[in-house]
Amino acid sequence: MSVFIDQSTRLVVQGITGRDGSFHAKQMISYDTKVVAGVTPGKGGQLFEGVVPVFNTVAAAVAETQANTAVIYVPAAVAASAIFEAADAGIGLIVCITEGIPVLDMTRVLPFVNERGARLVGPNCPGLISPGKSKVGIIPGNICKPGNIGVVSRSGTLTYEIIHQLSTHGFGQSTCVGIGGDPLIGTNFIHCLSAFAADPETAAIVMIGEIGGTDEQQAAEFVQRSVTKPVVGFIAGQTAPPGRRMGHAGAIISGSSGTAAEKIAALERAGIGVMKRPADVGPLLKERL
Amino acid sequence: MNLHEYQARDILRRHGIPVPPGEVATTPAEARAIVERLGGKVVVKAQVHAGGRGKAGGVKLAKNAGEAEAHAKAILGMTIKGLTVHKVLIAPAAEIASESYVGIIVDRASQRPVLMVSSAGGIDIEEVAAKTPEKIHRLAVDPRYGLLPHQALGLGFALYPDIAQARAAADIMQKLYAVVYAVGASLAEINPLVTTPPPDGKVQALDAKISIDDNELERRPEIAALRDVSAEAPEEVAAREAGLTFIKLDGYVGCCVNGAGLAMATMDLVKYYGGEPANFLDIGGSSNPQKVVAALRIMTADPRVRVILFNIFGGITRGDDVANGIVQATRELSLKVPIVIRLTGTNEREAMEILTKAGLSALTDMDEAVKQAVALAKGKAA
């Protein structure tokens, strides 16, 4: 098994004829992901790469192809609108790769998505991969290996580094989820941790956090309360300068809780094995498993 | 993007929030002319993107035009937290009966704009929040309905027992909430929100701070035009114009990385192996070789940098593009410091060929590259 995506994933690619969308659609097809449809308004009726039907709207794509998952590569200016459209069309899993969506747009997108019972991954994320089964997003397939380690991360290329370390040390992955680095995101650490905890084929979990916000601390509390599988973690940003001050309001709302030191302490309190550097992930897992 | 106080005051005023008058001067003579026109006592305030202006001597009271001119002369050109003051705001010195705080920030935890108010406003508001959190009233606003009148009035009464003042404050809060969505703010704050002495008892925004979400600027050219490049650190301006994210630090290992998380992990690893990172630099997901040239130019402009470390994990970023950029930059810039390159992922083989042809070499392991960079930096220091 795996979480969120597998062989039953039927994918519609929003922005399939664009520069990024077309490149990554081809990558996903060659990874044997079931790419059943594409959407580009005005290009309905065309075939992408001679095989994937393109539709004007997500609703039409769902009606014709029973797509159950959407991935979004459209430009930032229209990305919020693309998420609204996917949720409205009844898509259950929406993965938004696009970077640069205004945070105020997300304050309106998130309640809309939640009310329709859809799951959003991202925005500003590398997406997901269940090695050997399905890839939705941009995580390079060649660095992954099928296995029983669940990976959840706020980062992009740092996730690749950790996956690369895992594969090199002989630890394959059940599913890797990049949840995105924006302040307002759909799926968070806790959602992924609880999915991995319930997945019989995931034996251990790697979580990769960074400075800012308090998601890692809440995730740590969740691990302590409800996860019995081994969890190891990494927090990037120990040497990062203290964040640009966001007036007084930023300090009032979060105090000092966004620093790497605070987060590492919270992980350690919860019994999570904390790596000092990405190369520690293999040895630390070996110790814990 | 941060706005200056005078820009934030203008925005509030245009949205109907009562703000006392004030004008901007860039020379002492202009400051004098403004005071002669306004009359009475004034405050001369440095316009700079840094907190703690008052404590740094950037805010002064003046009894007359001559004093204002002298204060402006002292403040213009002074440096506050590394930033030079180019403008001062001249505002009448208001008589104040009370100071409150009103702020709105988009909160990660509730995923909503949160309105925070306190009757204990002023420069010590953060201490108030840390020591007596019960004095801060918070409300997470549902963006589907906005700030409802009864919610605003409830918070108005948290500031003032007087109904007229509570209503005035509630009106200001609703307008401030509208400002957030109108200008694309990630933060909008009035501190202090003051009342004038009785019998008037007017509620006014004396000082304001607005930060704009950078992702909003493309669709709001009128807000983007408010950017004051002279008020920002020059290397950060150069980086932004090249499409890079750059933050200067105090160390000597220049770091050039694709992706913010990996960039931070690289800096942490430099420290782990006994070095000090000179900067945070994220070249982002794009592969334009010109970006790499710009990155090297910015890093090598700092004489403290003793070695340049590239850490590239190709995904969207293509290794061959970065390699071309490095080769091009070494030709254009005649580098005086060694370069250590770690490069893996998309088009790794092509990248290695490009580098080898140019007489450069690269590693594929992150730890090895960082160790080598730190050793080179230290060897040079000794």
User: Mind listing the pLDDT tens digit for each residue in A67-87?
Assistant: 999 999 999 999 999 999 999
Residues A94, A138, single domain; the answer is no
Whether A159 is covered by a domain: the verdict is yes
Asked if pLDDT for residue B339 goes beyond 60, the answer is: yes
Q: Do the chains contact at B261 and A102, CB–CB below 8 Å?
A: no
Pick from A77, A160, A164: CB nearest B218: A77
What pLDDT is attached to residue B243?
Answer: 86
Interchain pair B247, A241: CB under 8 A: yes
A27 domain-assigned? yes
Residue A250 confidence (pLDDT) above 80? no
CB-based contact A248 B191, cutoff 8 Å: yes
Option in A108, A246, A276 nearest B272 (CB): A276
From residue B80, alpha-carbon distances to B47, B56, B58, B59 in Å are: 10, 7, 8, 11
Same domain membership, residue A168 and residue A95:
no
Instruction: Kindly tell me if the per-residue pLDDT of B96 is higher than 90.
Output: yes
Rounded-to-10 torsion of CA B259, B262, B265, B271: -70
In the predicted structure, residue A223 carries a pLDDT above the cut 50: yes
Shared domain check, A50 and A108: yes
Q: A26 and A89, same structural domain?
A: yes
Same domain for A117 and A145: no
What lies within 8 Å, CB to CB, of A47 at 6+ separation is: A53, A54
**A275 with A152, same domain?**
yes
Over residues A223-249, the mean pLDDT reads 83
A77, A236, A251: residue with CB nearest B264: A236
Q: Answer whether residue A247 shows pLDDT above 80.
A: no
Chain B contacts of A279, Cβ < 8 Å?
A: 366-367
What does each C-alpha distance from B334 to B173, B294, B296 come to in angstroms?
56, 14, 11
Banded pLDDT at A246 (limits 50, 70, 90): low
Contact in structure between B48 and B115 (CB atoms under 8 Å) = no
Domain-terminating residue out of A102, A121, A140: A121
pLDDT in tens, A4-24: 999 999 999 999 999 889 999
Tokens of B346: 């998309």
Cβ atoms of B257 and B266 within 8 Å: the answer is yes
Which of A253, A204, A254, A255 lies closest to A233 in space, CA to CA? Answer: A204
Q: What is d(CA B381, CA B325) in angstroms, rounded to the nearest whole number? A: 28
Helix (H, G, I), strand (E, B) or coil at B363: strand
On whether the CB atoms of residues A38 and A16 are closer than 8 A, the answer is: yes
Do residues A41 and A154 share a domain? no
Residue B307, classed as helix, strand or coil, is strand
Mind listing the pLDDT tens digit for each residue in A116-162?
Answer: 999 999 999 999 999 999 999 999 999 999 999 999 999 989 999 99
Same domain as A279, residue A163: yes
pLDDT of residue B212: 95
Interface A-B: count of C-beta contacts within 8 A: 176
Question: How confident is the model over B104-111, as a mean pLDDT?
Answer: 93
Interchain pair B260, A253: CB under 8 A: no
Q: Residue B275: CB partners within 8 Å, gap ≥ 6?
A: B251, B252, B253, B370, B373, B374, B377, B378
How sure is the predictor about B381, in pLDDT bands with cuts at 50, 70 and 90? Answer: low
Q: All domains of chain B, ordered by start, with CATH?
A: 21-92 (3.30.1490.20), 98-224 (3.30.470.20), 235-381 (3.40.50.261)
Q: Which residues of B touch A252 (CB under 8 A)?
A: 103, 116, 125-126, 129, 136
Boundary of a domain, candidates A81, A103, A121: A121
pLDDT band at B237 (very low <50, low <70, confident <90, very high): confident
Residue A153, in any domain of the structure: yes
Residue A118: how many other CB atoms lie within 10 Å: 20
Best CA proximity match to A89, nearest among A107, A113, A72: A113
Number of domains, chain A? 2
**Angle at alpha carbon of residue A225, lines to A220 and A228, rounded to 5°:** 90
3-state secondary structure of B230: helix
- The pLDDT of A87-93, averaged and rounded, is 98
pLDDT at position B382 is 45
Q: Judge whether A278 is closer than 8 Å to chain B, CB to CB.
A: yes
Which residue from A157, A215, A249 is facing B262, i.e. has the nearest CB?
A: A157
Cβ contact A215:A189 at 8 Å? yes
Q: Does A165 share its domain with A202? A: yes
Is A169 an 8 Å CB contact of chain B?
Answer: no
Q: In the predicted model, what is the mean pLDDT of residues B296-322?
A: 90
What 3-state class would DSSP assign to A35? strand
What is the average per-residue pLDDT within B103-113? 94
Say if A110 is an interface residue toward chain B (CB within 8 Å).
Answer: yes
Which of these three, A81, A100, A121, is where a domain ends? A121
Q: How many CB atoms lie within 10 A of CB A282?
A: 19
Q: State the average pLDDT over residues A108-122.
A: 97
Q: Which helix (H) or strand (E) holds A175?
A: strand A173-178
Residues A104, A141, single domain; the answer is no
**A108 with A142, same domain?**
no
Place of tokens 């334009």: B288
CATH number of the domain that A256 lies in? 3.40.50.261
Q: pLDDT exceeding 90 applies to what percent of chain B?
A: 73
The pLDDT assigned to B38 comes to: 87
Predicted pLDDT of residue B166 = 98
- The domain in which residue A228 lies consists of 127-288
On whether residue A17 sits in a domain, the answer given is yes
Chain A's closest residue to B103, CA to CA, is A249
Q: Do B366 and A278 touch (CB under 8 A)?
A: yes
pLDDT at A33: 97
Whether the predicted pLDDT of B316 surpasses 80: no
Share of chain B above pLDDT 70, in %: 98
- φ, ψ for residue B130, nearest 5 deg: -75, -40
The amino acid occupying position A140 is P
Whether the Cβ atoms of residue A67 and residue A33 lie closer than 8 Å to each other: no
What residues in A contact B51, CB-CB < 8 Å?
245, 247-248
Residue A226 falls within a domain, yes or no? yes
Whether residue A4 is contained in a domain is answered as: no
Q: Output the CA torsion sign for B104, A243, B220, B86.
A: positive
Q: Is the pLDDT of residue A251 over 70?
A: no
Query: Which CATH number does the domain housing residue A70 bear?
Result: 3.40.50.720
* Chain B residues inside the 8 Å CB shell of A251: 126, 129
ipTM: 0.92
Which chain A residues contact residue B191 at CB under 8 A? 248
Report chain A residues whose CB lies below 8 A from the CB of B8. none
- Closest residue in B to A78 (Cα–Cα): B219
Task: Tell me the shortest Cα–Cα distance from A5 to chain B, in angstroms.
Answer: 21
Whether A183 contacts chain B with CB within 8 A: yes
CA B71 – CA A205 distance, rounded (Å): 60
Chain B contact present for A104, CB below 8 A: yes
Q: What is the model's pLDDT at position B175?
A: 98
What one-letter code names the amino acid at A46? Q
CB A217 within 8 A of CB A163: no
Q: Closest Cα partner for A120 from A137, A145, A133, A141?
A: A137
Work out the average pLDDT over B315-335: 87
pTM value? 0.93
Same-domain pairing of A49 and A74: yes
Contact call for B315 and A157, based on CB within 8 A: yes
